[in-house]
């Protein structure tokens, strides 16, 4: 596989370039390096989007003038114990996200959090952190956060008019209930979220709530709380208190893109243990990236993929409509429309005797593939695992659970834990019920906790319209958003870095949320607000969380205080600890008992006939929305519209986080946008080309957005990411991309047939990093199959041109105590981008904005190259992270006229920023294209708040300066200083680069090459080790371990013959 395979980066490369040129359009890689106008400074809206990205123009006092700015030294008046100014400290805490929880360690500089890493003791993170987790730093210092409570007088629509409203029924069923073409609220109205309201205070709110609580019916019948999913035992306990005070109040836990379908089907939370699995089948599940617990999955997956020394190799199958990170890492990928995955699951179940219906509408080729998969699973037995994604309807989850049970995998590769405290079955129905009650005027007071239903609720519910009939709306929110424009009280939320809390991870481990800083603004946490609602007075969050754990920890040896302190220090609570009164374990049906789930009218007679024969009789506790998510019809179009959770902005909640907006999508490499993805064949059929603007229509509504032609996607499908097109996200996220929530209904939350996509005329300029830093088709990614590797371990290194021993220039003297080096294991790398954000956070890498990205000026030091291999319809995907190679014979150093880039004695190719005069010769001479240039002063207008997100140990670069990966030299120096103080040598693994530290699959190894036993030395001895462009004799210190695939020898070839034309590459 390795030697003769062609790798390509984009369809333009694959196609005949002259043909494109004849059409008058040069392919991207043949266009001039600099676009027209590239030398002009940004102006107008572009300037705003570039320089104002991070915030208002606070500027640095004095920088504009030529006088030295006056600076003050402000010491502590009363210095805290154990804090040495200039030395960082670290706190264990927990990052809660939509019902899951990741243990983190947060670095703090003089009491300000600056960097987030994973907590090795926490099972959900294992020391790694996702891009979302790490970007929480920038989210904390978001200058658009709500700074004080806002009060607005609202006029309430007559409740009697409720009946007129469209979609007034409890469970609107499909397109019929959708109000036609409701215009989105005008931007001015959203802007008024802040402007039209008077500033209030928490004291005002407390007294207002006192009056409100009196006015509520004695049983609280008119009170409702709408919250996201959470896993906080304290919040659950306080919600119970609130219910005791107002017995008829309702609490609706709802996530726009949560795990509802799994919860509905199983009544429990499935926890996957990929480390114990030998054969994994992902049914439309992006297990390694965007599904819940992806970090733990990636770690487990990579642990089972260490091909050296006869190590175990698992096998991953992915069945999915459009390529995801999981599909790219799969050994076999089946492209299938989301609506057909159910049939696939049924076929799989039938093969394995777990119920299901083999006679689905699957093409014969796909059925053969299902059979091959089933036989592989059967061989694996209890080491097999079938996982269904959140997009799939409950029926598929039930089938997956039935298959796992049939395999005997229950208890090994999958275990079932109670639902998160804040989640329940039937969330979608509960939301619909709440909206219906709002319309009927039954809700006097709605409390919205940290969620944004006006933006994200299913369009058919018309949540904004329903809100107009609620007399009092209280919202606790990070920043004024779309929902805030409708709320009477908009209260600032103290986020998890500012307030006490707790959370239970999927596996059951509980941990405490430790605040790193006092609330930056006048905020309260969700638990503090709920306690206030329940008790009528403010109680500090610290007390509330300790109350919860008092009983559980009180019995421990040494008493509560000792146990509590240990828990705070370790970041996890003892395993046995269960909080009192949290009601953590709902009496849920065993997963397979719920297997006989579902089967709405829309299923077209393909209802599961009872997964487990024994379980077929028992009924589920809660019935989800009928027919949710399958085969609903949105119109008379021919396409299947599929929604995806954005790996960048999640469901929209992180839209104002610039790091995430600029993080390229792993597969499409698009930044700052959510294009509609279609397969090459579908695009051709629709007359669309990559970059065209198109109108996407469903449910009688339409959205205009650019098109990306995605190799490997199922034909006839359109995939769009949720969360973009926010109208009131803030200065970074507002108006970025297109809002596709209007196309999403409660009947079809994840995919729907009958959508249409038509050219709208015009082209969009996508800010896409796909072609940037291209290395012109050389043999850069190497891979082999496991068999090839077993036969000849050096197979991946073959094809390497022998390095010529001719030295073009004198080598630097490398006589340092340590010699640093790095390896990147392509067999482990999943391409998830966590390293990119880690590097950005650690090294103060500026965000440049879409306009600059489209000119190739992104500054991320670490890029993850994505290559396709093979046929355009069904390509394989490979990821390759590329940081600076730290060549010993560094070409960049030889051409710098001012010695701004030089070698140090430890083998690091260092940048001396203030020597750099910006010739860019070094970048021109770099064969790996890893150097980044500051075309503008991207950091000059950094607002005061965002300055605090900067790492004080790293220079914030200015205009005209070249920069690149430094192997996190500040960490090396910090470690060396600490070792020197203690008079010892650095131990292996003591200094870790930011990318290495955060990698969920531990693909990156870094350390001292002079120590033959160091992890990196051992890694470099792997037969898979190779360097990029060895023929240049640059002697890079960063090397790669070739990827090993583990294909099934009995895999049937896919249906379509591979076209000869598409095999021609570059």
Partner 1 sequence: VSGHRLRLATLALLAVALGGCRGCVSNRPPIHLNPNMDYQPKVQAQEDSEFFADGGGMRHPVPGTVALEDPVELDAFVTGKDAGGAPVASVPAAARERFGGEEAFAARGLERYEIYCAPCHGSAGDGQGMLRRRSGVASADLRLARLRQAPDGHLYDVIANGLGLMPSYAAQVPVADRWAIVAHVRALQAASPVTGDAAAPDAAADAVDAAGGEAPADAPPAAEPAAEEGR
Give contact residues for partner 1 (rule: CB under 8 A). 58, 60, 62-63, 66-76, 78-83, 85-86, 89-92, 105, 108-112, 500, 514-518, 520, 542, 561-562, 565-566, 568-570, 844, 913-914, 939-940, 942, 944-948, 950-952, 955-958, 961
Closer of 255 and 953 to partner 1 (Cβ): 953
Closer of 889 and 966 to partner 1 (Cβ): 966
Closer of 32 and 86 to partner 1 (Cβ): 86
Dihedral angle, C-alpha 494, 495, 500, 506, nearest 10 °: 150
Q: Minimum Å distance from CB 542 to partner 1? A: 5
Q: Minimum Å distance from CB 896 to partner 1? A: 18
Closer of 89 and 920 to partner 1 (Cβ): 89
Q: Are 1017 and 317 in contact (CB under 8 A)?
A: no
Q: Minimum Å distance from CB 80 to partner 1? A: 5
Which two structure tokens, joined as six digits, stand for 630? 């399958």
* 3-state SS assignment for residue 405: helix
Beta strand segments in 287-426, E? 315-320, 332-335, 384-388, 414-417
Closer of 520 and 764 to partner 1 (Cβ): 520
Which stretches of 216-330 are DSSP H helices? 233-245, 260-266, 294-303, 325-329
φ, ψ for residue 1058 (rounded to 5)?
-70, 130
Q: Minimum Å distance from CB 498 to partner 1? A: 8
Give the chain's length. Answer: 1066
Q: Are 624 and 429 in contact (CB under 8 A)?
A: yes
In the block, which residue shows the tokens 């803030």? 730
In the block, which residue shows the tokens 């070839």? 1053
Beta strand segments in 794-935, E? 820-825, 863-869, 876-882, 901-903, 909-911, 932-933
Q: Minimum Å distance from CB 79 to partner 1? A: 4
Q: Minimum Å distance from CB 52 to partner 1? A: 14
Q: Minimum Å distance from CB 199 to partner 1? A: 17
* 3-state SS assignment for residue 267: coil
Q: Centre a 10 Å sphere on the Cβ of residue 335 and count the other Cβ atoms it contains.
A: 21
Closer of 1 and 479 to partner 1 (Cβ): 479
Q: Minimum Å distance from CB 868 to partner 1? A: 40
Give the distance between the most distant pair of CA atoms in the chain: 89
Closer of 18 and 69 to partner 1 (Cβ): 69
Dihedral angle, C-alpha 27, 29, 31, 36, nearest 10 °: 110
Q: Are 482 and 728 in contact (CB under 8 A)?
A: yes
Which two structure tokens, joined as six digits, stand for 2? 């390795």
Closest CA to 1064 of 16, 27, 18: 16
Q: Minimum Å distance from CB 60 to partner 1? A: 6
- 3-state SS, 242-264, equals HHHHCCCCEEEECCCCCCHHHHH
Q: Are 414 and 442 in contact (CB under 8 A)?
A: no
Q: Minimum Å distance from CB 397 to partner 1? A: 39
- Tell me the C-alpha distance between 752 and 294, whole Å: 26
- Tell me the C-alpha distance between 646 and 739, whole Å: 12
Q: Minimum Å distance from CB 545 to partner 1? A: 10
Beta strand segments in 356-402, E? 384-388
Which two structure tokens, joined as six digits, stand for 977? 């200083």
Closer of 853 and 916 to partner 1 (Cβ): 916
Q: Minimum Å distance from CB 85 to partner 1? A: 4
Closest CA to 185 of 463, 431, 489: 463
Closer of 60 and 1035 to partner 1 (Cβ): 60
Closest CA to 286 of 696, 643, 570, 734: 643
Opening angle at CA 802, ends 801 and 805, nearest 5: 135
What is the crossing angle of helices 131-140 and 834-842, to 10°?
Answer: 30
Q: Minimum Å distance from CB 56 to partner 1? A: 12
Q: Minimum Å distance from CB 500 to partner 1? A: 8
Opening angle at CA 643, ends 642 and 644, nearest 5: 125
* 3-state SS assignment for residue 417: strand
φ, ψ for residue 502 (rounded to 5)?
-155, 165
Closer of 205 and 500 to partner 1 (Cβ): 500
Closest CA to 316 of 279, 349, 353, 287: 279
φ, ψ for residue 624 (rounded to 5)?
-75, 175
Q: Minimum Å distance from CB 920 to partner 1? A: 18
* Beta-ladder partners of 370: none
- Tell me the C-alpha distance between 5 and 85, whole Å: 55
Closer of 732 and 781 to partner 1 (Cβ): 732
Q: Minimum Å distance from CB 481 to partner 1? A: 23
Closer of 861 and 879 to partner 1 (Cβ): 861
Closer of 324 and 514 to partner 1 (Cβ): 514
Q: Minimum Å distance from CB 142 to partner 1? A: 13
In the block, which residue shows the tokens 């970074």? 732
Closer of 419 and 516 to partner 1 (Cβ): 516
Closest CA to 737 of 671, 796, 802: 671
Closer of 187 and 518 to partner 1 (Cβ): 518
Q: Minimum Å distance from CB 838 to partner 1? A: 18
Closest CA to 236 of 645, 575, 631, 534: 534
Closer of 63 and 808 to partner 1 (Cβ): 63
Beta strand segments in 837-933, E? 863-869, 876-882, 901-903, 909-911, 932-933
Q: Centre a 10 Å sphere on the Cβ of residue 787 and count the other Cβ atoms it contains.
A: 15
């Amino acid at each position: 596989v390795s030697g003769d395979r062609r790798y390509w980066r984009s369809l333009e490369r694959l196609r005949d370039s002259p043909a494109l040129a004849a059409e008058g359009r040069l392919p991207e890689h043949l266009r001039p390096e600099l676009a027209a106008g590239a030398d002009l400074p940004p102006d107008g809206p572009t300037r705003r989007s570039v320089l104002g990205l991070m915030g208002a123009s606070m500027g640095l006092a004095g920088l504009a003038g030529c006088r030295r700015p006056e600076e003050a030294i402000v010491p502590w008046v009363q210095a805290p114990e154990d804090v040495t100014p200039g030395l960082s400290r670290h706190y264990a805490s927990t990052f809660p996200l939509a019902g899951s929880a990741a243990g983190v360690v947060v670095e703090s500089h003089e009491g300000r959090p600056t960097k987030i890493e994973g907590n090795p003791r926490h099972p959900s993170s294992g020391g790694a952190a996702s891009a979302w987790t790490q970007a929480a730093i920038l989210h904390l210092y978001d200058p658009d956060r709500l700074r004080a409570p806002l009060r607005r007088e609202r006029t309430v629509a007559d409740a009697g008019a409720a009946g007129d409203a469209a979609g007034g029924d409890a469970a609107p069923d499909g397109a019929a209930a959708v109000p036609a073409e409701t215009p989105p609220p005008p931007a001015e109205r959203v802007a008024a979220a802040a402007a039209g309201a008077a500033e209030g205070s928490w004291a005002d709110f407390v007294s207002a709530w006192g009056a409100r609580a009196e006015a509520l019916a004695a049983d609280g019948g008119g009170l409702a709380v709408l919250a996201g999913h959470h896993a906080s035992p304290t919040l659950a306990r306080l919600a119970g208190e609130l219910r005791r005070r107002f017995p008829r109040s309702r609490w609706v836990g709802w996530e726009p893109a949560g795990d509802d379908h799994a919860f509905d089907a199983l009544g429990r939370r499935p926890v996957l243990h990929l480390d114990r699995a030998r054969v994994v089948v992902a049914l439309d599940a992006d297990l390694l990236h965007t599904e819940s617990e992806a970090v733990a999955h990636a770690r487990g997956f990579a642990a089972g993929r260490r091909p050296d020394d006869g190590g175990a190799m698992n096998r991953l199958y992915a069945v999915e409509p459009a390529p995801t990170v999981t599909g790219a890492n799969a050994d076999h990928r089946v492209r299938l429309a989301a609506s057909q995955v159910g049939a696939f699951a049924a076929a799989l179940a039938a093969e394995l005797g777990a119920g299901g219906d083999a006679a689905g509408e699957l093409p014969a080729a796909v059925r053969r593939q299902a059979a091959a998969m089933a036989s592989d699973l059967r061989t694996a037995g209890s080491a097999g695992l079938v996982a269904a994604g959140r997009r799939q309807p409950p029926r598929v989850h039930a089938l997956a659970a039935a298959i796992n049970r049939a395999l005997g995998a229950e208890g090994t590769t999958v275990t079932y834990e109670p639902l998160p405290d804040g989640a329940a079955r039937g969330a979608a129905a509960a939301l619909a019920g709440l909206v219906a009650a709002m319309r009927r005027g039954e809700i006097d007071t709605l409390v919205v906790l940290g969620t944004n239903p006006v933006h994200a609720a299913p369009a058919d519910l018309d949540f904004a319209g329903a809100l107009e009939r609620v007399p009092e709306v209280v919202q606790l929110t990070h920043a004024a958003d779309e929902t805030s424009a409708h709320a009477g009280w908009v209260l600032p939320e103290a986020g998890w870095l500012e307030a006490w809390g707790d959370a239970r991870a999927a596996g059951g481990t509980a941990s405490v949320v430790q605040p790193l800083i006092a609330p930056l603004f006048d905020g309260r946490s969700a638990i503090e607000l709920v306690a206030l609602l329940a008790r009528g007075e403010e109680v500090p969050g610290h007390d509330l969380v300790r109350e919860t754990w008092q009983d559980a920890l009180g019995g421990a040896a040494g008493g509560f205080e000792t146990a509590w302190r240990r828990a705070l220090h370790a970041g996890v609570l003892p395993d046995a600890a269960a909080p009192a009164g949290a009601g953590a374990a709902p009496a849920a049906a065993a997963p397979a008992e719920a297997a006989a789930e579902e089967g709405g009218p829309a299923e077209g007679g393909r209802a599961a006939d009872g997964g487990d024969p024994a379980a077929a009789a028992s009924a589920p506790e809660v019935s989800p929305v009928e027919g949710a998510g399958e085969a609903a019809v949105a119109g008379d179009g021919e396409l299947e519209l599929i929604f995806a959770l954005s790996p960048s902005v999640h469901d929209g909640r992180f839209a104002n986080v610039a790091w995430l907006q600029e993080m390229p999508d792993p597969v499409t490499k698009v930044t700052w946008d959510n294009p509609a993805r279609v397969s090459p064949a579908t695009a051709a059929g629709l007359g669309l080309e990559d970059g065209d603007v198109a109108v996407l229509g469903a449910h009688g509504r339409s959205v205009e957005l650019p098109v990306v032609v995605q190799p490997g996607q199922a034909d006839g499908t359109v995939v769009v990411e949720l969360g973009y097109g926010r109208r009131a996200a803030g200065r970074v996220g507002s108006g970025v991309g297109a809002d596709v929530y209007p196309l999403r209904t409660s009947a079809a939350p994840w995919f729907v047939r009958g959508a249409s996509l038509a050219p709208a005329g015009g082209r969009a300029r996508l800010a896409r990093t796909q072609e940037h830093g291209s290395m012109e088709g050389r043999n850069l990614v190497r891979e082999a199959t496991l068999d090839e590797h077993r036969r000849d371990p050096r197979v991946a290194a073959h094809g390497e041109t022998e390095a010529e021993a001719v030295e073009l220039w004198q080598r630097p003297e490398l006589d340092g105590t340590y010699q640093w080096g790095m390896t990147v294991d392509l067999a482990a790398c999943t391409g998830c981008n966590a390293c990119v954000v880690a590097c950005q956070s650690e090294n103060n890498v500026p965000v440049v904005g879409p306009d600059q990205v489209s000119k190739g000026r992104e500054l991320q030091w670490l890029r993850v190259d994505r290559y396709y291999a093979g046929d355009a319809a069904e390509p394989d995907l490979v990821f390759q992270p590329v940081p600076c190679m730290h060549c010993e014979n560094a070409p960049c150093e030889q051409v710098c006229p001012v010695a701004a880039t030089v070698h140090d004695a430890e083998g690091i190719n260092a940048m001396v920023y203030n020597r750099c005069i910006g010739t860019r010769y070094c970048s021109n001479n770099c064969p790996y294209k890893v150097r980044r240039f500051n075309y503008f002063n991207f950091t000059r207008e950094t607002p005061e708040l965002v300055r605090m997100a900067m790492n004080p140990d790293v220079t914030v670069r200015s205009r005209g300066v070249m920069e690149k990966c430094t192997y996190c030299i500040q960490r090396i120096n910090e470690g060396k200083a600490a070792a020197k103080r203690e008079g010892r040598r650095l131990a292996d693994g003591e200094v870790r680069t930011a990318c290495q530290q955060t990698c969920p699959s531990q693909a990156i190894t870094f350390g001292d090459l002079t120590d033959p036993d160091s992890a990196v030395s051992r890694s470099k001895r792997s037969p898979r080790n190779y360097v990029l462009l060895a023929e240049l004799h640059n002697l890079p210190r960063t090397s790669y371990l070739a990827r090993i695939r583990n294909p099934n020898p009995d895999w049937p070839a896919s249906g379509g013959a591979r076209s000869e034309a598409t095999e021609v590459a570059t």
